[in-house]
Structure 1
Amino acid sequence: MSANPHLSRRALLGMSAAVPLALTLGSGTAHAADSAYAMVYFTETNNRGSGTDYNLHLAVSTDGLEWTPLNQNNAVASPTEGALGLRDPFVLRKQDGTFVVLATDLKGTNWSYNSQYIHVWDSADLRTFTGYRRMKLHDMETHSWAPESFWDAGRGQYAVIYSSVNSSGHNVIMVNYTSDFVTASAPQVFFDPGYEVIDGDMALGVNGYNYLFFKKVDKLVAARSTSLDPGSFTEFSSNEGASHNGNTEAPTIVKSLTSNTWYLWGDNYRPNGVFYAWQSTDLASATWTPLDQKTYTQPVNSKHCGITTITTTEYNNLIAKWGTPTWNRLKSYNYPARYVRHASFVGRIDEYPITPYTDSQWTLVPGLADSSGVSFRSVNYPTRYLRHINYGLQLDVNDGTSQFAADATFYREAGLAESSWASFRSYNFPTRYIRHSNFMLRIDPISTTAGRQDATFRVGY
């Protein structure tokens, strides 16, 4: 959930959501054949305008850091009961190998809407979502936010944890148990340290401990236990936690499939919906190092996601079913919080989130002057292309002339600062490359380290 600075502290803490990315949720470890990741999420823009969609979205990744939205970043399923919208979706691979998706029953930011239910879907392969229903968790006059689940082998049931308010009137992590995600046991308090906590996210069976990550004020911290019993978790006395500018919520913990590295994600709610990430090789240390934003990219407008590991076959089948985006975003190498966009038809790089977000989406088409090159067509102004005039880049209508075609054509090459990224050389000024200068886009000769960094971009989504 996204925080609203005008709400009370209790409401502020109560409305954020877990972003469940833990690979160890469910059976305790990733499946031996898993080699990729699938993410479920909803979308919400900074002004809650175009690009906001309170339905189920889907993305995939081969490394859990760089994400490809599926179905053109459009929804793949929609709730048909309750608030007719969702927040905070979570996906779990069940013991039988199929999936279940859970989500908060809430549309938009109507924080006074208190649902005793959560949304539930079944899925055999994440290509279809069936059996939609709501599952009742309690009879209290309060919320059931940010649900996620794990397999409790000792009980032989799935635990469903979520943020709610206890009898003392502050937010705690509650738990219900279920075998079928249709009916659930009576609610119990899972974690209540005596102060406001929200956004529970689990990592199970790590060197003899189970870890519960949560939001404490505006910091992401953890508790741990050698069991999964309600009331057994204790916050570390040495826990330093993680935060970005004091606006961090929605802790998410995910383990690399290829190394012993753990990633802790947090959602900054000022501005709305910016993810930050930290890394560690030892959960017990409670020490987290910020990740360079060059290493990860969230799906555009994504909010409070859930991740599961998948196999290569499942990854390929999801791409085949839903398709990859027909557009791209270009991330700056040396200012990785910034993306190429147009503003008042002038090319520049600005920080994400960008309003309107479509200003930063581009269709890369064969070069207008040479099909072996590339031209950048605007998604929201599809008759306009990035072209240079007096070496500055602007967005103009294609007038069909050879001059326009030449000005709007570039050759994609290995990134001048990083070969796995990209640089773009001008067609008609072949010693000049697209680069940013004071955040404005232009074409210049490149001869310095700073220039090579300015002229390097990641072409992604």
Structure 2
Amino acid sequence: MADDATDQGSDQPWGYLFAHFREDQVGHAEKIFLSLSRGDTPLRWDPLNGNEPVLESLIGTTGVRDPAIVRDAAGRFHILATDLRVWANGPELDWPTWRRAGSRSLVVWHSEDLVHWSEPRLVEVAPPEAGMAWAPETTVDPETGEHIVFWSSRLFSPDDPDHREDSYSRILYARTRDFETFGPAGILIDTGGRDIIDTAIAQADGRVYRVSKDENRDDDGRGVYLEAGSGLFADDFEVITTRLAEDLYGHGGVEAPILLREPSGRWLLFLDQYRDWPQGYFALSTDDIESGRWEPVPAAEVDIPPSTKHGTILRLTRAEWDRLDRLRAPGAFTGAAD
């Protein structure tokens, strides 16, 4: 336990929890893993549960990826994940089929305390015209207080029920207050033809910042790019910068952005690189998000376990951090994956 926060109030913000999965071509790591911040920094992490998965899904495709962890207004916690098992049949991957005929549901867990978790359930969020529902994330509508859950889906014509025609990924969304029931899907981002996935949203100082990945590998492809607008559903978003970290991992070599602001005001952008093994996250930072200038966080400041893949980070209270700090041993979680 870190000594520099022992006097902090138990209900004050302190520490972070990282929900993520792992990529494993041989074993089965498409499950939920949790890591705890090493003190009150989102740059240094230690695996919980003996570095073993905390949750798994035996429903749907029996694999989960891209988890989002969120606290609702009532203080309950929820994990939402992509219902997709990529490595079920060895090294043979079929991304085209998964994009047009994949699961339209998310896998959802609930918890009162971050320790004891419900059984998973499938929640169908995408319409029949969708080919998949990938990489769920959440934000809050400041006007209604509702949670906005958003994800990427390819949409096909109702006249194409087998989803054979060409299409592209949009970002869809649905509203919820309790993560038990969800409203109908709407379109949050539509580029008019370019594949967009992995959107993350942060709201600050009256602005909405969106980081997304443009999947197109042509010369006009934006890679991971940042844009800003005046509201969640505003039509005035403007691109601030494109091809983030391309100089480090090549065009299209990073994905799964996590955008957060530290208490100091510094912005951090975590990106998941999949060009080199072991794959996983690294961090960029900026003191001025509107400038478009991001620099790698010095390696001496960062310690993210290898193969920490696509996930999200939750701000904790000191009491929550202390509770999780006691769950480092294998099998420490109730409901932990076998």
Q: Provide TM-score, normalisation by structure 1.
A: 0.59
Residue 321 of structure 2 corresponds to 315
- The aligned runs of 1:338-353 (5 Å cut-off) are none
1:128 aligns to 2:152 (yes or no):
no
1:263 aligns to 2:263 (yes or no):
no
1:49 aligns to 2:26 (yes or no):
yes
Residue 433 of structure 1 corresponds to none
Residue 234 of structure 1 corresponds to 237
Residue 4 of structure 2 corresponds to none
Describe the shift of the 1:165–1:281 C-alpha distance in structure 2 as closer, same or farther (beyond 3 A).
same
Amino acid at match of 1:260: G
- 2:241 partner SS: coil
Alpha-carbon separation, structure 2, partners of 1:324 and 1:260: 36
Residue 73 of structure 1 corresponds to 51
Alpha-carbon separation, structure 1, partners of 2:108 and 2:258: 21
Alpha-carbon separation, structure 2, partners of 1:147 and 1:86: 11
1:98 aligns to 2:97 (yes or no):
no
CA deviations 1:58-85 (Å, max 9, x no partner) are 1100211111001111011111310111
Residue 159 of structure 2 corresponds to none
Contact map agreement 2:222 2:242 (CA 8 A) in 1: no
Residue 198 of structure 1 corresponds to 197
2:207 to 209, 216, 224: 209
Q: What's the offset of the Cα at 1:178?
A: 1.7
Residue 254 of structure 1 corresponds to 260
Alpha-carbon separation, structure 1, partners of 2:190 and 2:236: 9
Residue 226 of structure 2 corresponds to 222
How well do the aligned residues superpose, as a CA RMSD in angstroms? 2.2
| Structure 1: gaps of 5 or more residues | 1-30, 326-461
Contact map agreement 2:130 2:154 (CA 8 A) in 1: no
| Structure 2: gaps of 5 or more residues | 1-9, 88-93, 157-165, 215-220, 332-338
Contact map agreement 1:160 1:175 (CA 8 A) in 2: yes
Equivalenced residues, count: 288
- 2:50 partner SS: helix
Alpha-carbon separation, structure 1, partners of 2:63 and 2:139: 24
- 1:321 partner SS: coil
Residue 34 of structure 1 corresponds to 13
CA deviations 1:4-34 (Å, max 9, x no partner) are xxxxxxxxxxxxxxxxxxxxxxxxxxx9811
Contact map agreement 1:166 1:189 (CA 8 A) in 2: no
Q: Which has the greater radius of gyration?
A: 1
Contact map agreement 1:84 1:107 (CA 8 A) in 2: yes
Residue 329 of structure 1 corresponds to none
Contact map agreement 1:136 1:183 (CA 8 A) in 2: no
Residue 456 of structure 1 corresponds to none
Amino acid at match of 2:134: W
Residue 34 of structure 2 corresponds to 58
Describe the shift of the 1:148–1:37 C-alpha distance in structure 2 as closer, same or farther (beyond 3 A).
same
Residue 143 of structure 2 corresponds to 154
- 1:54 partner SS: coil
- 2:320 partner SS: helix
Describe the shift of the 1:233–1:66 C-alpha distance in structure 2 as closer, same or farther (beyond 3 A).
farther
- 1:294 partner SS: helix
Q: What's the offset of the Cα at 1:160?
A: 0.8
Alpha-carbon separation, structure 1, partners of 2:294 and 2:242: 8
Contact map agreement 2:81 2:107 (CA 8 A) in 1: yes
Amino acid at match of 1:318: L
Q: Provide TM-score, normalisation by structure 2.
A: 0.79
Alpha-carbon separation, structure 2, partners of 1:37 and 1:286: 26
Contact map agreement 2:286 2:295 (CA 8 A) in 1: yes
Residue 185 of structure 1 corresponds to 183
Alpha-carbon separation, structure 1, partners of 2:179 and 2:213: 26
Q: What's the offset of the Cα at 1:128?
A: 1.2
Alpha-carbon separation, structure 2, partners of 1:301 and 1:250: 13
- 1:313 partner SS: helix
Alpha-carbon separation, structure 1, partners of 2:304 and 2:324: 18
Contact map agreement 1:241 1:286 (CA 8 A) in 2: no
